[in-house]
Chain A
Amino acid sequence: MKISPSKIISLLFFIFSGFYLYTAHQIHVFTFDENAAFNAKTFPIYLGYAGLIFSALYVVLPETRPSNVDLTVLDYKKTITLVILMILYGLTILRVGYFLSTSIFLVLSYIVLGERKWLWIFLLSFPFVAMFMYLLHGLLNIYLRDPFLQYIGVMG
């Protein structure tokens, strides 16, 4: 028996709703609120049941308009690489600093997406980020943590 991806997603949502409902029941409310008509867990409990009902209906009922996705034409390599680059960007943005991590993220992303115009790659990374930082930090007074620029003495 072949099950469609949409039904698998709905099944996962059913499990998620079940977990959500269980967690909603675990919310500790004040003793005097326990039997109130509405307390902190009332709405989440309703939501949990709604999630279970809608996802169960989707799994059980026949699909009238199945989503046809040709998985062979999807570009997994570039997408996954970009996601990994974003995770690394998130990891380094506080430790290394905004300027270097953002510039390197942009350079690598351009290259991953097949760009080879090196002048544009350079212009739209280091100078672009420097200008953007000046706009935020210099003109709009928005604090940007940057240990690297502080270390080399560019930023106070």
Chain B
Amino acid sequence: MIEGILIGLETAFSLKNLMMVMIGCFAGTIIGMLPGLGPMTAIALMIPITYGFEPSTGLILMAGVYYGAVFGGSTSSILINAPGIPGTVATSFDGYPMAQQGKAGKALAIAAYSSFAGGTIAAIFLLIAAPSLSKVSLAFRSPDYFGLMILGLTAVSAFSAKGHFLKAMMMVVLGLMLASVGQDTLSDIPRFTFQNMNLSDGISFVLVVMATFAMSEALTIIFKANDPTRVAKQISLSQLGSIKLDKNETKKMVTTIPRSSVLGFIIGVLPGAGSTIASFLAYGMERNFVNDEEKQKFGKGSVNGLAAPETANNAACSGSFVPLLTLGIPGSGTTAVMLGALLGFGIQPGPRLYQTNPEIFWSVIMSMYIGMVILLILNLPLIPYIARVLATPRSFLIPLILFFSVTGIYLMSFNNFDIYMMIGIAVVATVLRLYDFPMPPLILAFVLGGLMEENLRRSLLISDGSWSFLWDRPLTIVIMLTIFFIVGWQIYKSFFKKN
């Protein structure tokens, strides 16, 4: 392990990769700060840029963007009460009231220190947990993988659906259907190509991500009249106040951060849960831990109330890399985008990544920590300047996002067909979003489609066409029971639970 860490450090500390982390953190912060644009969009916009890079460099850039976007999301939550991403909604509960009291600088500092601490503690957990989990996951067989993929899709649907489980499941099926377009990987038989040569290679992952996130988000912002950036004038973006914390505030953070980090990491590891659930749970847990006097301050600018979700959402981000790196199965929409990018680099994450590409495995983990440090030392002093990005008029912002999306796909294929297909998917995605059909399950399904079919093929061939492989092994049974539990819980929640 020590050797691996050294390899990772060497790769991550090369000048080029350090630059990439910095650029990634900076770009991610700016994109994440813009309401409506989250880490998935930020990473999606980076994919075309990483084409010519080495896999480790590309991944390091994307990891930086991921953390930057989460941090940027907190900034907009605190300053204008418009969370850039769902994971920072809980941040606004106490961050925004604090900013309204003239302590915006302090709120941003608490967010930055908590993010740093949460991310660092979780990176250490990841360092310890990932290699051990890699060894354990070598025991997984095709039926287990197939079950795990269904579990991941069901869990992401359950958590991202916000009460619309069936809609999320339809999106899962749609994502798998889109992934099935093109030649069959084993037999090369064309499927759903309708004799169109442009479809024979299947639909590009970048195209689907750009269309369903970057482009569709831009269109949604225009489509919806109630634009959250309108409240941007409530707080002066040039006078944020001091960023120094006093002894009492530091003391409160010291007690909050460790427990929120542990909770955030565990939630992050679970497929589908992610930073949103982690931040809400940490906020709720912290409220139960503090004394009655502090409890009264929750929702009115509590230091604990701000530090807890901020710590947890960053810890969850690190945690979400565990299933991706060790099992090759992303636990969230964002890590699904990263899996797609990895596959684009010709790398198959999974238990063997640890052995076959140690430089990638370790450099990503190391770059997470470096990303945290950079976010703290680079972004915190620059916050007053970066915050002005929030004042960018959407009349400039939206066309630029659309331009980057079209350029991204044009550079990949150099044909009009892909651009039209992207516009078509973006329009459909915009309408679907309007009626609460969630997009993360679609992306996750699209990325997992090929792997899922492959594992089902192996499982069915081994069991001679019988579906008994789903209950032949104890591990598969446990996975299947978990799936039934999630589905059952969703049914209960939808039809029997009143509140």
Contacts and interface: CB of A to CB of B under 8 A. Distances in A.
Interface of A: 5-6, 9-10, 13, 17, 20, 23-24, 27-30, 33, 36-44, 47, 50-51, 54-55, 57-58, 61, 64-65, 67, 69, 73-76, 78-79, 82-83, 86-87, 89-91, 93-94, 98, 102, 105-106, 109-110, 113-115, 120, 124, 132, 136, 140, 142, 144-145
B366 interface: no
A87 B423 contact: yes
A27 B189 contact: yes
A58 B167 contact: yes
Most buried by A among B176, B223, B399, B430: B399
Given A94-B416, A106-B400, A69 B434 contact: yes
7 contacts: A6-B436, A37-B461, A44-B180, A73-B225, A94-B414, A114-B395, A145-B414
Most buried by A among B170, B219, B465: B170
B226 A91 contact: no
B301 to A, nearest CB: 32
Q: 8 closest Cβ contacts across the A-B interface?
A: A37-B465, A109-B399, A90-B419, A113-B395, A115-B395, A40-B184, A73-B225, A40-B189
Nearest to A77: B222
Nearest to A145: B414
Contact of B453 (A9, A43, A142): A43
A106 B399 contact: yes
B406 A9 contact: no
Interface of B: 52, 163-164, 166-167, 169-170, 173-174, 176-177, 180, 184, 186-187, 189, 191-192, 219, 222-226, 393-396, 398-400, 402-403, 406-407, 410-411, 414-416, 419-420, 423, 427, 430-432, 434-437, 452-453, 456-457, 460-461, 463-465, 494-495
Contacts of A110: 395-396, 399
A6 B431 CA distance: 10
Contacts of A20: 177, 192
Looking at chain B's contact residues, the main secondary structure is: helix
Contact of A47 (B176, B403, B419, B435): B176
Contacts, number: 172
Contacts of A93: 406, 410, 416, 419
A102 B435 contact: no
Contact of B400 (A38, A51, A94, A124): A124
A23 B189 CA distance: 14
Given A9-B435, A9-B437, A120 B173 contact: no
Given A87-B423, A113-B394, 19 more contacts: A6-B167, A24-B191, A30-B187, A37-B461, A40-B187, A43-B452, A43-B457, A51-B173, A54-B166, A58-B166, A64-B163, A65-B164, A86-B419, A90-B416, A91-B416, A93-B419, A98-B410, A110-B395, A113-B395
B180 A43 contact: yes
B410 A47 contact: no
Contact of B170 (A13, A38, A41): A13
A74 B174 contact: no
Contacts of A120: 396
A44 B192 contact: yes
Contacts of A24: 191-192
A89 B407 CA distance: 11
A38 B460 contact: yes
A38 B427 contact: no
Contact of B456 (A36, A38, A75, A136): A38
Contacts of B396: 110, 115, 120, 124
Contact of A82 (B170, B187, B222, B224): B222
A142 B411 contact: yes
Contact of B423 (A90, A94, A105): A90
A102 B403 contact: yes
A65 B163 CA distance: 7
Most buried by B among A33, A40, A44, A79: A40
A140 B358 CA distance: 28
A47 B393 contact: no
B225 A74 contact: yes
